[in-house]
Amino acid sequence: MDNVNLKKIAETLNISISSVSRALRDSHEIGEKTKQKVRELAEQLNYMPNPYAGSLRKQRTRNIALVVPEVANNFFAMAINGIEAVAQEKGYHVLIYLTHDYLEKEMEIARHLLNGRVDGIIMSLSGETVSTDHLQKLTDKEIPIVFFDRIIETFSGGTVTTDDYDSGYKATEHLIQAGCKDIAYLSISKHLYIAQKRMQGYKDALQKNKIPLRDELIIQCSPDNNKNKELILKLLKSKNRPDGIFASVERLAIASYHACQELKLHIPKKVKIIGFSNLETAALLNPGLSTITQPAFDMGKEAATMLFRKLEKRTTINASEKVEIKSELVARGSTKAS
Protein backbone atom coordinates (compact mmCIF):
# COMPACT_ATOMS: atom_id res chain seq x y z
CA MET A 1 0.00 0.00 0.00
CA ASP A 2 1.45 3.35 -0.90
CA ASN A 3 2.00 6.05 1.70
CA VAL A 4 -0.63 8.33 0.20
CA ASN A 5 -3.31 5.75 0.99
CA LEU A 6 -1.90 4.98 4.42
CA LYS A 7 -2.06 8.66 5.18
CA LYS A 8 -5.59 8.93 3.84
CA ILE A 9 -6.81 6.13 6.11
CA ALA A 10 -4.97 7.61 9.09
CA GLU A 11 -6.56 11.00 8.51
CA THR A 12 -10.03 9.62 7.92
CA LEU A 13 -9.97 7.59 11.13
CA ASN A 14 -8.00 10.17 13.07
CA ILE A 15 -5.25 7.72 14.08
CA SER A 16 -1.51 7.64 13.39
CA ILE A 17 0.00 6.22 10.19
CA SER A 18 1.88 3.63 12.21
CA SER A 19 -1.39 2.50 13.80
CA VAL A 20 -2.85 2.00 10.33
CA SER A 21 0.19 0.01 9.36
CA ARG A 22 0.01 -2.11 12.50
CA ALA A 23 -3.72 -2.64 12.01
CA LEU A 24 -3.07 -3.92 8.49
CA ARG A 25 -0.44 -6.27 9.89
CA ASP A 26 -3.11 -7.53 12.33
CA SER A 27 -1.02 -6.47 15.32
CA HIS A 28 -2.26 -7.32 18.81
CA GLU A 29 -1.52 -3.74 19.87
CA ILE A 30 -4.51 -2.49 17.87
CA GLY A 31 -8.11 -2.98 19.00
CA GLU A 32 -10.42 -5.21 16.95
CA LYS A 33 -12.82 -2.38 16.10
CA THR A 34 -10.05 -0.13 14.78
CA LYS A 35 -8.58 -2.99 12.75
CA GLN A 36 -11.94 -3.61 11.17
CA LYS A 37 -12.41 0.06 10.25
CA VAL A 38 -8.91 0.20 8.76
CA ARG A 39 -9.49 -2.96 6.73
CA GLU A 40 -12.82 -1.71 5.43
CA LEU A 41 -11.32 1.57 4.35
CA ALA A 42 -8.36 -0.24 2.75
CA GLU A 43 -10.82 -2.39 0.83
CA GLN A 44 -12.65 0.69 -0.38
CA LEU A 45 -9.37 2.10 -1.65
CA ASN A 46 -8.82 -1.19 -3.47
CA TYR A 47 -5.78 -1.92 -1.38
CA MET A 48 -4.22 -5.26 -2.24
CA PRO A 49 -1.86 -6.60 0.40
CA ASN A 50 1.73 -7.01 -0.69
CA PRO A 51 2.27 -10.76 -0.54
CA TYR A 52 5.93 -10.34 0.49
CA ALA A 53 5.38 -7.88 3.29
CA GLY A 54 3.68 -10.45 5.46
CA SER A 55 5.54 -13.53 4.30
CA LEU A 56 6.61 -14.49 7.81
CA ARG A 57 3.06 -14.24 9.06
CA LYS A 58 0.34 -16.49 7.79
CA GLN A 59 -2.15 -14.53 5.74
CA ARG A 60 -5.48 -14.33 7.54
CA THR A 61 -8.73 -14.64 5.66
CA ARG A 62 -10.88 -13.42 8.57
CA ASN A 63 -13.40 -16.09 7.67
CA ILE A 64 -14.41 -19.09 9.66
CA ALA A 65 -16.44 -21.92 8.16
CA LEU A 66 -19.42 -23.42 9.88
CA VAL A 67 -20.27 -26.88 8.54
CA VAL A 68 -23.64 -28.23 9.71
CA PRO A 69 -26.11 -30.87 8.52
CA GLU A 70 -29.09 -28.53 8.08
CA VAL A 71 -30.51 -25.15 8.96
CA ALA A 72 -34.22 -25.98 8.98
CA ASN A 73 -33.77 -26.91 12.61
CA ASN A 74 -33.91 -24.50 15.48
CA PHE A 75 -30.99 -26.09 17.26
CA PHE A 76 -28.63 -25.21 14.43
CA ALA A 77 -30.30 -21.87 13.72
CA MET A 78 -29.78 -20.82 17.35
CA ALA A 79 -26.26 -22.24 17.51
CA ILE A 80 -25.41 -20.16 14.41
CA ASN A 81 -26.55 -17.06 16.28
CA GLY A 82 -24.22 -17.93 19.16
CA ILE A 83 -21.30 -18.48 16.79
CA GLU A 84 -21.98 -15.26 14.87
CA ALA A 85 -22.14 -13.24 18.08
CA VAL A 86 -18.55 -14.23 18.91
CA ALA A 87 -17.29 -13.97 15.32
CA GLN A 88 -18.70 -10.49 14.90
CA GLU A 89 -16.93 -9.33 18.04
CA LYS A 90 -13.66 -10.64 16.59
CA GLY A 91 -14.26 -9.03 13.19
CA TYR A 92 -14.74 -12.38 11.45
CA HIS A 93 -17.27 -13.57 8.90
CA VAL A 94 -19.00 -16.92 9.22
CA LEU A 95 -19.44 -18.89 5.99
CA ILE A 96 -22.13 -21.53 6.42
CA TYR A 97 -21.88 -24.83 4.57
CA LEU A 98 -24.60 -27.51 4.62
CA THR A 99 -23.97 -31.26 4.38
CA HIS A 100 -27.67 -32.22 4.37
CA ASP A 101 -26.54 -35.09 6.59
CA TYR A 102 -24.57 -36.77 3.78
CA LEU A 103 -20.94 -37.82 4.30
CA GLU A 104 -20.13 -37.33 0.61
CA LYS A 105 -21.17 -33.69 0.77
CA GLU A 106 -19.15 -33.25 3.96
CA MET A 107 -16.04 -34.65 2.25
CA GLU A 108 -16.52 -32.33 -0.70
CA ILE A 109 -16.75 -29.33 1.62
CA ALA A 110 -13.60 -30.44 3.46
CA ARG A 111 -11.71 -30.59 0.13
CA HIS A 112 -13.08 -27.17 -0.78
CA LEU A 113 -11.85 -25.70 2.52
CA LEU A 114 -8.32 -27.02 1.93
CA ASN A 115 -7.82 -24.10 -0.43
CA GLY A 116 -7.23 -21.73 2.44
CA ARG A 117 -10.55 -19.96 2.28
CA VAL A 118 -10.94 -19.89 6.04
CA ASP A 119 -8.79 -19.59 9.16
CA GLY A 120 -10.73 -22.12 11.19
CA ILE A 121 -13.72 -24.45 11.14
CA ILE A 122 -16.65 -25.21 13.42
CA MET A 123 -18.42 -28.46 12.58
CA SER A 124 -21.34 -30.63 13.50
CA LEU A 125 -20.95 -33.92 11.66
CA SER A 126 -23.34 -35.62 9.27
CA GLY A 127 -25.24 -38.65 10.52
CA GLU A 128 -23.25 -40.82 8.10
CA THR A 129 -19.80 -39.80 9.29
CA VAL A 130 -17.83 -42.59 10.99
CA SER A 131 -14.27 -41.23 10.96
CA THR A 132 -12.42 -37.96 10.60
CA ASP A 133 -9.97 -39.09 7.93
CA HIS A 134 -11.41 -36.54 5.52
CA LEU A 135 -10.51 -33.78 7.98
CA GLN A 136 -6.90 -34.79 8.58
CA LYS A 137 -5.51 -32.70 5.73
CA LEU A 138 -7.12 -29.60 7.19
CA THR A 139 -5.43 -30.22 10.52
CA ASP A 140 -2.15 -30.89 8.69
CA LYS A 141 -2.51 -27.43 7.18
CA GLU A 142 -2.92 -26.05 10.72
CA ILE A 143 -6.53 -25.07 10.21
CA PRO A 144 -8.07 -25.61 13.64
CA ILE A 145 -11.40 -27.48 13.89
CA VAL A 146 -13.84 -27.38 16.79
CA PHE A 147 -16.84 -29.72 16.93
CA PHE A 148 -20.14 -29.01 18.58
CA ASP A 149 -23.05 -31.33 19.24
CA ARG A 150 -22.22 -34.01 16.66
CA ILE A 151 -18.62 -34.69 17.53
CA ILE A 152 -16.13 -37.49 17.00
CA GLU A 153 -14.60 -38.36 20.30
CA THR A 154 -11.31 -39.64 18.90
CA PHE A 155 -10.50 -36.37 17.12
CA SER A 156 -7.86 -34.38 18.95
CA GLY A 157 -9.28 -30.91 19.08
CA GLY A 158 -12.08 -29.10 20.82
CA THR A 159 -15.61 -30.35 21.41
CA VAL A 160 -18.74 -28.74 22.81
CA THR A 161 -21.61 -31.07 23.68
CA THR A 162 -24.60 -31.33 25.92
CA ASP A 163 -25.18 -34.05 28.53
CA ASP A 164 -26.42 -36.51 25.90
CA TYR A 165 -26.29 -39.63 28.06
CA ASP A 166 -28.12 -38.05 30.99
CA SER A 167 -30.67 -36.44 28.68
CA GLY A 168 -31.35 -39.77 26.95
CA TYR A 169 -31.78 -41.39 30.34
CA LYS A 170 -34.05 -38.65 31.69
CA ALA A 171 -36.27 -38.55 28.59
CA THR A 172 -36.78 -42.33 28.71
CA GLU A 173 -37.49 -42.31 32.42
CA HIS A 174 -39.97 -39.48 31.87
CA LEU A 175 -41.90 -41.68 29.39
CA ILE A 176 -41.79 -44.63 31.82
CA GLN A 177 -43.14 -42.48 34.64
CA ALA A 178 -45.96 -41.35 32.32
CA GLY A 179 -46.94 -45.04 31.96
CA CYS A 180 -45.10 -46.18 28.79
CA LYS A 181 -43.94 -49.78 28.59
CA ASP A 182 -43.00 -50.10 24.93
CA ILE A 183 -40.79 -47.20 24.04
CA ALA A 184 -39.46 -46.81 20.50
CA TYR A 185 -36.16 -45.01 19.97
CA LEU A 186 -35.78 -43.08 16.70
CA SER A 187 -32.09 -42.83 15.87
CA ILE A 188 -30.35 -40.80 13.17
CA SER A 189 -27.05 -42.65 13.25
CA LYS A 190 -25.47 -45.77 14.70
CA HIS A 191 -22.05 -44.19 14.57
CA LEU A 192 -22.29 -40.67 15.86
CA TYR A 193 -20.93 -40.31 19.37
CA ILE A 194 -23.89 -38.28 20.62
CA ALA A 195 -26.33 -40.76 19.08
CA GLN A 196 -24.63 -43.59 20.92
CA LYS A 197 -24.69 -41.63 24.17
CA ARG A 198 -28.37 -40.79 23.84
CA MET A 199 -29.23 -44.37 22.99
CA GLN A 200 -27.15 -45.70 25.87
CA GLY A 201 -29.13 -43.45 28.22
CA TYR A 202 -32.34 -44.92 26.74
CA LYS A 203 -31.11 -48.50 27.19
CA ASP A 204 -29.90 -47.98 30.74
CA ALA A 205 -33.15 -46.30 31.79
CA LEU A 206 -35.11 -49.28 30.44
CA GLN A 207 -32.86 -51.73 32.27
CA LYS A 208 -32.97 -49.80 35.52
CA ASN A 209 -36.78 -49.91 35.30
CA LYS A 210 -36.78 -53.62 34.41
CA ILE A 211 -38.26 -53.07 30.96
CA PRO A 212 -36.85 -55.51 28.41
CA LEU A 213 -35.08 -53.96 25.43
CA ARG A 214 -36.85 -54.80 22.16
CA ASP A 215 -34.52 -54.40 19.19
CA GLU A 216 -37.40 -53.91 16.75
CA LEU A 217 -38.27 -50.70 18.60
CA ILE A 218 -34.94 -49.09 17.73
CA ILE A 219 -35.46 -47.48 14.35
CA GLN A 220 -32.57 -46.30 12.20
CA CYS A 221 -33.83 -43.23 10.38
CA SER A 222 -32.70 -41.56 7.18
CA PRO A 223 -31.38 -38.12 6.16
CA ASP A 224 -34.58 -37.95 4.06
CA ASN A 225 -37.47 -37.09 6.39
CA ASN A 226 -40.14 -38.30 3.96
CA LYS A 227 -38.73 -41.79 4.32
CA ASN A 228 -38.80 -41.40 8.10
CA LYS A 229 -42.51 -40.72 8.15
CA GLU A 230 -43.00 -44.00 6.28
CA LEU A 231 -40.80 -45.84 8.80
CA ILE A 232 -42.78 -44.40 11.70
CA LEU A 233 -46.13 -45.18 10.03
CA LYS A 234 -44.98 -48.78 9.63
CA LEU A 235 -43.93 -48.88 13.27
CA LEU A 236 -47.24 -47.46 14.47
CA LYS A 237 -49.26 -49.87 12.33
CA SER A 238 -47.36 -52.91 13.62
CA LYS A 239 -48.99 -55.42 15.95
CA ASN A 240 -46.81 -54.55 18.90
CA ARG A 241 -47.22 -50.84 18.46
CA PRO A 242 -45.14 -48.76 20.90
CA ASP A 243 -46.93 -46.60 23.48
CA GLY A 244 -44.05 -44.14 23.63
CA ILE A 245 -41.66 -42.57 21.13
CA PHE A 246 -38.31 -41.00 21.95
CA ALA A 247 -37.14 -38.95 18.94
CA SER A 248 -33.40 -38.35 19.12
CA VAL A 249 -33.59 -35.30 16.82
CA GLU A 250 -36.19 -32.63 16.12
CA ARG A 251 -37.29 -33.63 12.64
CA LEU A 252 -38.03 -37.17 13.86
CA ALA A 253 -40.41 -35.74 16.46
CA ILE A 254 -42.16 -33.74 13.72
CA ALA A 255 -42.37 -36.83 11.48
CA SER A 256 -43.89 -38.74 14.43
CA TYR A 257 -46.59 -36.09 14.89
CA HIS A 258 -47.40 -36.20 11.16
CA ALA A 259 -47.63 -40.01 11.30
CA CYS A 260 -49.95 -39.93 14.33
CA GLN A 261 -52.11 -37.29 12.65
CA GLU A 262 -52.40 -39.44 9.54
CA LEU A 263 -53.33 -42.54 11.56
CA LYS A 264 -55.59 -40.52 13.88
CA LEU A 265 -53.64 -41.89 16.85
CA HIS A 266 -54.23 -39.61 19.82
CA ILE A 267 -51.15 -38.07 21.46
CA PRO A 268 -50.71 -38.67 24.43
CA LYS A 269 -53.57 -41.17 24.97
CA LYS A 270 -52.43 -43.75 22.44
CA VAL A 271 -48.80 -42.80 22.11
CA LYS A 272 -46.61 -40.38 24.05
CA ILE A 273 -43.79 -38.48 22.36
CA ILE A 274 -40.67 -36.73 23.60
CA GLY A 275 -37.85 -35.43 21.45
CA PHE A 276 -34.59 -33.52 21.45
CA SER A 277 -35.79 -30.22 20.05
CA ASN A 278 -35.45 -26.45 20.12
CA LEU A 279 -38.59 -26.03 18.03
CA GLU A 280 -40.02 -22.54 18.42
CA THR A 281 -43.51 -23.95 18.00
CA ALA A 282 -43.10 -26.85 20.49
CA ALA A 283 -45.57 -25.29 22.94
CA LEU A 284 -48.03 -24.46 20.14
CA LEU A 285 -48.39 -27.97 18.76
CA ASN A 286 -51.46 -30.10 19.35
CA PRO A 287 -50.60 -31.24 21.98
CA GLY A 288 -47.49 -29.33 23.06
CA LEU A 289 -44.34 -31.38 22.44
CA SER A 290 -42.29 -32.43 25.47
CA THR A 291 -38.68 -31.70 24.70
CA ILE A 292 -35.10 -32.09 25.72
CA THR A 293 -34.12 -28.52 24.98
CA GLN A 294 -30.44 -28.04 24.24
CA PRO A 295 -28.57 -24.85 25.17
CA ALA A 296 -28.08 -24.15 21.46
CA PHE A 297 -27.01 -20.51 21.60
CA ASP A 298 -24.54 -21.17 24.41
CA MET A 299 -23.13 -24.24 22.67
CA GLY A 300 -22.49 -22.19 19.53
CA LYS A 301 -20.94 -19.37 21.54
CA GLU A 302 -18.70 -21.78 23.44
CA ALA A 303 -17.56 -23.51 20.22
CA ALA A 304 -16.65 -20.17 18.63
CA THR A 305 -14.84 -18.99 21.75
CA MET A 306 -12.84 -22.22 21.76
CA LEU A 307 -11.96 -21.80 18.07
CA PHE A 308 -10.72 -18.26 18.60
CA ARG A 309 -8.56 -19.43 21.51
CA LYS A 310 -6.87 -21.72 18.98
CA LEU A 311 -6.70 -19.05 16.26
CA GLU A 312 -5.14 -16.59 18.66
CA LYS A 313 -2.67 -19.28 19.73
CA ARG A 314 -3.81 -19.19 23.31
CA THR A 315 -4.20 -22.97 23.02
CA THR A 316 -2.60 -25.28 20.46
CA ILE A 317 -4.61 -26.69 17.58
CA ASN A 318 -4.59 -30.19 18.99
CA ALA A 319 -5.34 -29.28 22.59
CA SER A 320 -8.16 -31.58 23.55
CA GLU A 321 -10.64 -29.26 25.22
CA LYS A 322 -14.07 -30.57 26.13
CA VAL A 323 -17.00 -28.45 27.24
CA GLU A 324 -20.37 -29.87 28.24
CA ILE A 325 -23.44 -27.73 28.84
CA LYS A 326 -26.59 -29.26 30.32
CA SER A 327 -29.90 -29.62 28.50
CA GLU A 328 -33.31 -29.18 30.06
CA LEU A 329 -36.33 -31.49 30.01
CA VAL A 330 -39.49 -29.50 29.33
CA ALA A 331 -42.64 -31.59 29.94
CA ARG A 332 -45.69 -30.66 27.86
CA GLY A 333 -48.93 -32.29 26.73
CA SER A 334 -47.36 -34.98 24.55
CA THR A 335 -46.19 -37.00 27.57
CA LYS A 336 -49.09 -36.35 29.93
CA ALA A 337 -49.96 -39.46 31.97
CA SER A 338 -53.33 -40.83 30.95
Answer yes or no whether residue 280 interacts with a copy of itself by CB under 8 A: yes
Query: At closest approach, how far in Å is the CB of 208 from a copy of itself?
Result: 32
Residues pairing with 293 in the sheet? 328
193 binds a copy of itself (CB under 8 A): no
Q: Which residues contact 327 (CB under 8 A, 6 or more apart)?
A: 162, 163, 167, 276, 292, 293, 294, 295
Q: What is the smallest separation between the CB atom of 161 and a copy of itself, expressed in angstroms? A: 22
53 binds a copy of itself (CB under 8 A): no
Is residue 111 near a copy of itself by the rule CB under 8 A?
Answer: yes
- Cα 166 from chain centroid (whole Å): 19
Minimum CB separation from a copy of itself for residue 220, in Å? 22
Q: What is the total residue count of the chain? A: 338
> In this structure, what DSSP letter does residue 27 have?
-
Closest by alpha carbon to 332, among 264, 253, 262, 255?
Answer: 253
CB of 5 to a copy of itself, least distance (A): 16
243 close to 214: Cβ distance less than 8 angstroms: no
Does residue 49 bind a copy of itself (CB under 8 A)? no
Task: Kindly state the smallest distance separating residue 215's Cβ from a copy of itself, in Å.
Answer: 29
> Does position 257 bind a copy of itself by CB under 8 A?
yes
Nearer to a copy of itself, 84 or 173 (CB): 84
Of 12-20, 89-97, 182-190, 240-248, which segment contacts a copy of itself by CB under 8 A?
89-97
Q: Of 62 and 214, which CB lies nearer to a copy of itself in the complex structure?
A: 62
Nearer to a copy of itself, 184 or 279 (CB): 279
Of 112-120, 153-161, 200-208, 211-219, which part binds a copy of itself (CB under 8 A)? 112-120
Query: Phi and psi for 184 in degrees, rounded to 5?
Result: -85, 145
Residues 16-45 that bind a copy of itself (CB under 8 A): 40, 43-44
State how far Cα 68 lies from the chain centre: 6
Whichever of 30 and 109 has its CB closer to a copy of itself, that residue is: 109
Out of 20, 98, 249, 304, name the contact with a copy of itself by CB under 8 A.
Answer: 98
Burial (0-12, 13-18, 19+ Cβ within 10 Å), 92: buried
AA letter at 58: K
Going from the C-alpha of 201 to that of each of 134, 169, 175, 337, the distances in angstroms are 30, 4, 13, 22
**151 and 193 Cβ atoms separated by less than 8 Å:** yes
User: Least separation, in Å, of the C-beta of 251 and a copy of itself?
Assistant: 8
User: Does residue 169 contact residue 204 with C-beta atoms inside 8 Å?
Assistant: yes
Tell me if 123 sits within 8 A of 95, measured CB to CB: no
Is 230 an interacting residue with respect to a copy of itself (CB under 8 A)? no
Interface residues with a copy of itself (CB under 8 A) are 40, 43-44, 70-72, 74, 76-78, 80-81, 84, 93-98, 100, 109, 111-112, 114-115, 117, 251, 254, 257-258, 261, 279-281, 283-288
